[in-house]
């Protein structure tokens, strides 16, 4: 007899005879799939594992708590944003000095809510909480992956891949660094969990005409995949890939339009904003570091620097063997054997399946790793390879050890397989215990050797004398920091400050004299030219322009060519002559430091009048009108590709401008001619 609705209408049934749920009920469910009931042993072991890993990772991150100089760079932008100057590093100059857009605005939102809470503590709390949340979500997503094969079976879910990740010291270093690493972990953990849920949608026996995954869940997953580029630009590799999988698996054009709209709206809107506001198609940091460039040898050096101290090949071999055992002994196949809803093609069934998601997430991590090796890595030990490592460990973040029940294998065989899995897990746990206490880079950790790579946390702890430098005030004990505040106080009429050979002094290039009608409390323009933008920018006022020779906050330096033999991450090096040339400073002796050439300053001043260079600089310095915004959008790609020569004379030749006459005749080795 067919079941009836309370109203008396007959409820439709699935061809198999099961009652088909109404649309209103389905709409309230994010994923129309079974809850995958776990045995109590599985459930208890999972939550014990999650708790233990969260506590261990949190404790390890707390023991290594700090805020990096680069983390303070983000906070300077947040200060300007809250002060009404816009998301810029220096007021009046639209430069995007931060790589992670979402991280910047997340801290700004936290500061707005927190009110008087110090920005450093807001960044620290966000980084810490998101880092721990990332590993928890990773474990829950992997547990969901194994759920179908563990239904009705007794098993232990034990941490494996997450142990490897949290054991690596850089993972704990960058859990609280003030950088976006914690946000990346939380993002990837959530995306992994949602992708696993999405891949299991086709397991639900719904009737014809029904999508196995609901519209709200589809929109949420598409939105999450789309914002990948706002978390970090290179994460577009995984975000776009996830969107493509969803589009292939979608059953209708209406569902595809939903995926495109949910996944693309925010990134596209922000991209238009970036092009119009910053006049670039990528973050300014990508231009400063030539993110599309290639330094393969340095990249392999970086990989070796990260992998060798911790023997990362050991857990790689152990986890691969573990994965082989798990696949060969699964009680139910990962792929779909039931009849899927009508309308799903073979390609859709393949793409929307757990094996496809596992392969996708592992390959995404591998591709990100290859990208960073090609780019040359980073100057911070291990930092940029943490994300690829985390991605590749996701499918084995936890592993099941199935207790023999004699259902598929004999008890003898079951005990043998469980014993093999247990032995591999114990080996992973043993390696993790060793790696967590490994010396890392050893004596080279705080020295800038020919590799250019340092243990950033230990370097700044040693340089500041603080075991846990967390605030900008802690960095006042870094060389030159207190001296710069003294120099600013001693130059009320304005000046350009250049780092001198002594850690207690700054070279001063005075500003042009104040106008005759200047008020008695007149304070002239100040610019500080220094590498460490974060500690400097957070310890001086927003009225002080802070620029660097690398190009993170200096648009002129950003558009120079990358030095092939420069230190990775610091391989642009603009001469201070340019800073003198473009500012309202005295450009003649005796006001110039002895190492600055007056002719170079004059040549740089002339080179800045190159029409193409003026166009690039006006795009971010001129008032932002609607016309300027549209012009920037049109020319953003051209401005992104623009490069100039760091030597003023060569830049004049490149631009076809006349070279100013030298103030002194060049030295030839011959005595000057007589009258």
The pLDDT, as a whole number, for residue 267 is 97
For the segment 388-398, the average pLDDT, to the nearest whole number, is: 97
Q: With bands split at pLDDT 50, 70 and 90, how would you rate the model's confidence at 328?
A: confident
Rounded Cα distance between 174 and 186, Å, is 13
Residue with tokens 């001619």: 673
Instruction: State how beta strands 526-529 and 495-499 pair.
Output: parallel
Mean pLDDT of 607-623: 97
pLDDT attached to residue 408: 56
- Residue 153 has what pLDDT? 79
Is the pLDDT score of 168 beyond 80?
yes
Q: Mean pLDDT throughout 606-617? A: 97
- At 85-117, the pLDDT tens digits run 999 999 999 999 999 999 999 999 999 998 889
Beta-carbon neighbour count of residue 516 at 10 Å? 5
**92 dihedral zone (left: phi>0; alpha: psi -120 to 50; beta):** left
pLDDT digits (tens, 9 = 90+) for 288-310: 998 888 999 999 999 999 999 99
| Predicted pLDDT at 212 | 64
Q: Judge if the upstream peptide bond of residue 590 is cis by omega within 30 degrees of 0.
A: yes
Q: Is residue 209's pLDDT more than 50? A: no
CB 254 within 8 A of CB 262: no
CA 531/CA 534 separation, integer angstroms: 9
- Residues pairing with 507 in the sheet: 498
Q: What is the pLDDT of residue 280?
A: 97
Instruction: Give the angle subtended at the CA of 41 by the CAs of 35 and 45, to the nearest 5°.
Output: 95
**DSSP string for residues in 337-387:** -S-PPTT--HHHHHHSSHHHHHHHHHHHHHHHHHHHHHHT--SBTTGGGHH
CA–CA separation, 104 vs 450, rounded Å?
33
What confidence score (pLDDT) does residue 38 get? 64
pLDDT number for residue 271: 97
Residue 16: predicted pLDDT: 38
What is the C-alpha to C-alpha distance for residues 382 and 524, in angstroms, rounded to an integer? Answer: 43
Q: What is the mean pLDDT of residues 619-631?
A: 97
- Compute the distance between CA of residue 348 and CA of residue 527 in angstroms, rounded to an integer: 58
Lowest-pLDDT range, 206-215, 300-309, 372-381, 569-578?
206-215
| pLDDT-above-70 percentage for the chain | 87
pLDDT of residue 406: 54
Q: What is the pLDDT of residues 259-287, one digit of tens each?
A: 999 999 999 999 999 999 999 999 999 99
The pair of structure tokens assigned to 440 is 């890392």
For residues 16 and 514, the model is more confident at 514
| Cα distance between residue 48 and residue 37, in whole Å | 17
Q: What is the mean pLDDT of residues 373-398?
A: 96
What does the alpha-carbon distance between residue 525 and residue 541 come to, in Å, rounded to a whole number? Answer: 12
Confidence check: pLDDT of 338 > 50: no
Closest CA to 331 of 204, 150, 201: 150
What integer pLDDT is reported at residue 519 of this predicted model? 81
Assign 38 to helix, strand or coil: coil
Kindly tell me if the per-residue pLDDT of 24 is higher than 80. Answer: no
Q: Among 585, 611, 149, 581, which residue's Cα sits nearest to residue 408? A: 149
Write down the pLDDT at residue 324: 87
Nearest CA-CA partner of 185 in 169, 171, 168, 196: 171
> What is the token pair recorded at 225?
């995949």
- Give pLDDT tens digits for 192-201: 999 999 998 8
pTM confidence score: 0.90
| SS3 category, 158 | strand
pLDDT band of 342, cuts 50, 70, 90: low
Given a cut of 70, whether residue 555 has pLDDT beyond it is yes
* Secondary element (H or E) of residue 190: helix 181-199
What gap in Å lies between CA 522 and CA 520, rounded to an integer?
6
Residue boundaries of the structural domains of the chain: 35-207+286-331+342-437, 599-665
Regarding predicted confidence, which is higher, 413 or 177?
A: 177
Gap between the Cα atoms of 493 and 483, Å rounded: 18
Q: Over range 408-419, report the average pLDDT.
A: 62
For residue 37, name the pLDDT band (cuts at 50, 70, 90): low
- Kindly report the average pLDDT of the chain as a whole number: 88
Predicted local distance difference test score (pLDDT) of residue 405: 63
pLDDT of residue 129: 98
3-state secondary structure of 471: coil
What percentage of the chain exceeds 90 in pLDDT?
73
Higher pLDDT, 350 or 674: 350
Tell me the mean pLDDT in the region 123-149: 95
Give the phi and the psi of residue 656 in degrees, each rounded to 5: 75, 30
Give the C-alpha separation, 347 to 362, whole Å. 20
> What angle (nearest 5°) sits at the alpha carbon of residue 54, between those of residues 52 and 60?
100
Q: Which residue has the higher pLDDT, 564 or 198?
A: 198
CA 69, 71, 74, 75 torsion: positive or negative? negative
Q: How confident is the model at residue 152 (pLDDT cuts 50, 70, 90)?
A: confident
User: From CA 172, how far away is CA 436, in angstroms rounded?
Assistant: 9
**Token digits of residue 193:** 């969990």
pLDDT digits (tens, 9 = 90+) for 438-475: 999 988 899 988 999 999 999 999 999 999 999 999 99
Check residue 28 and give its pLDDT: 40
Q: Tell me the CA distances in angstroms from 276 to 381, 483, 530, 640, one per residue in order.
A: 35, 38, 28, 12
Q: How far apart, in whole angstroms, are the C-alpha atoms of residue 249 and residue 375?
A: 33
Burial grade of 539 (CB within 10 A; 0-12, 13-18, 19 or more): buried
Q: Give yes or no for a contact between 354 and 200, defined as CB atoms under 8 angstroms apart.
A: yes
Report the C-alpha gap between 587 and 603 in whole angstroms. 11
647: number of Cβ within 10 Å = 17
Checking if the pLDDT of 541 tops 80, the result is yes
- Within 8 A by CB and 6+ apart from 602, the residues are 581, 587, 660, 663
């Amino acid at each position: 007899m067919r079941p009836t609705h309370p109203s008396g209408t007959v409820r439709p049934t699935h061809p198999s005879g099961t009652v088909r749920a109404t649309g209103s009920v389905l709409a309230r469910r994010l994923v129309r799939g079974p809850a995958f009931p776990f045995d109590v042993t599985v459930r208890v072991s999972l939550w014990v594992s999650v708790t233990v890993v969260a506590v261990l990772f949190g404790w390890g991150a707390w023991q290594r708590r700090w805020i990096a100089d680069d983390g303070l760079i983000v906070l300077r932008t947040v200060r300007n944003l809250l002060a009404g100057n816009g998301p810029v590093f220096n007021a009046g100059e639209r430069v995007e000095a931060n790589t992670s857009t979402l991280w910047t605005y997340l801290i700004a939102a936290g500061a707005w809510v927190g009110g008087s809470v110090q920005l450093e503590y807001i960044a620290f709390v966000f980084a810490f909480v998101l880092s721990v949340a990332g590993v928890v979500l990773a474990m829950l997503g992997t547990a969901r992956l194994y759920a179908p094969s563990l239904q009705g079976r007794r098993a232990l879910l034990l941490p494996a891949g997450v142990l490897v990740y949290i054991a690596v010291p850089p993972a704990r270093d960058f859990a609280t660094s003030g950088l976006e690493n914690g946000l990346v972990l939380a993002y990837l953990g959530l995306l992994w969990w949602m992708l696993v849920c999405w891949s299991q949608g086709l397991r639900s026996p719904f009737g014809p005409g029904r999508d196995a995954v609901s519209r709200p869940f589809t929109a949420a997953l598409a939105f999450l995949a789309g914002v990948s580029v706002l978390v970090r630009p290179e994460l577009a590799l995984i975000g776009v890939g996830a969107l493509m999988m969803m589009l292939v698996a979608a059953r209708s054009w209406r569902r595809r339009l939903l995926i495109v709209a949910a996944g693309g709206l925010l990134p596209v809107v922000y991209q238009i904003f970036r092009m119009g506001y910053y006049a670039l198609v990528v973050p300014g940091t990508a231009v400063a570091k030539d993110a599309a460039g290639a330094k393969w040898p340095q990249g392999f050096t970086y990989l070796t620097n990260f992998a060798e101290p911790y023997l990362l090949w050991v857990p790689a071999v152990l986890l691969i063997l573990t994965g082989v055992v798990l696949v060969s002994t699964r009680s139910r196949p990962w792929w779909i054997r039931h009849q899927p809803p009508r309308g799903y093609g073979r390609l859709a069934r393949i793409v929307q399946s757990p094996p496809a998601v596992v392969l996708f997430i592992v390959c995404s991590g591998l591709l990100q790793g290859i990208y960073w090796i090609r780019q040359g890595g980073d100057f911070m030990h291990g930092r940029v390879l943490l994300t690829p490592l985390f991605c590749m460990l996701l499918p084995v973040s936890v592993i099941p050890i199935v207790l023999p029940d004699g259902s598929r294998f004999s008890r003898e065989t079951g005990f043998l397989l469980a014993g093999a899995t247990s032995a591999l897990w114990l080996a992973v746990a043993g390696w993790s215990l060793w790696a967590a206490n490994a010396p890392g880079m050893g004596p080279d950790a705080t020295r800038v050797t020919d590799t250019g790579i340092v243990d950033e946390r230990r370097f700044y702890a040693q340089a500041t004398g603080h075991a846990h430098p967390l605030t900008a005030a802690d960095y006042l004990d870094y060389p030159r920091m207190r001296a710069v505040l003294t120099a600013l106080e001693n130059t009320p009429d304005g000046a350009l400050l250049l780092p001198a050979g002594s850690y207690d002094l700054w070279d001063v290039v005075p500003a042009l004299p104040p106008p005759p009608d200047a008020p008695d409390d007149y304070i002239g323009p100040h610019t500080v030219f220094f590498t460490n933008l974060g500690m400097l920018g957070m310890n001086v006022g927003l009225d002080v322009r802070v620029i660097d020779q690398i190009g993170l906050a200096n648009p002129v330096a950003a558009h120079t060519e990358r030095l092939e033999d420069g230190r990775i991450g610091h391989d642009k090096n603009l001469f201070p002559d340019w800073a003198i040339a473009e500012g309202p400073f005295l450009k003649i002796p005796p006001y110039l430091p002895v190492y600055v050439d007056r002719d170079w300053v004059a040549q740089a001043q002339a080179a800045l009048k190159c029409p193409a260079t003026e166009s690039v600089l006006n795009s971010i310095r001129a008032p932002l009108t609607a016309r300027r915004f549209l012009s920037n959008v049109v020319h953003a790609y051209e401005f992104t590709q623009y490069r100039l020569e760091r030597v003023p004379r060569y830049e004049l030749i490149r631009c076809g401008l006349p070279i100013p006459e030298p103030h002194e005749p060049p030295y030839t080795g011959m005595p000057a001619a007589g009258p």
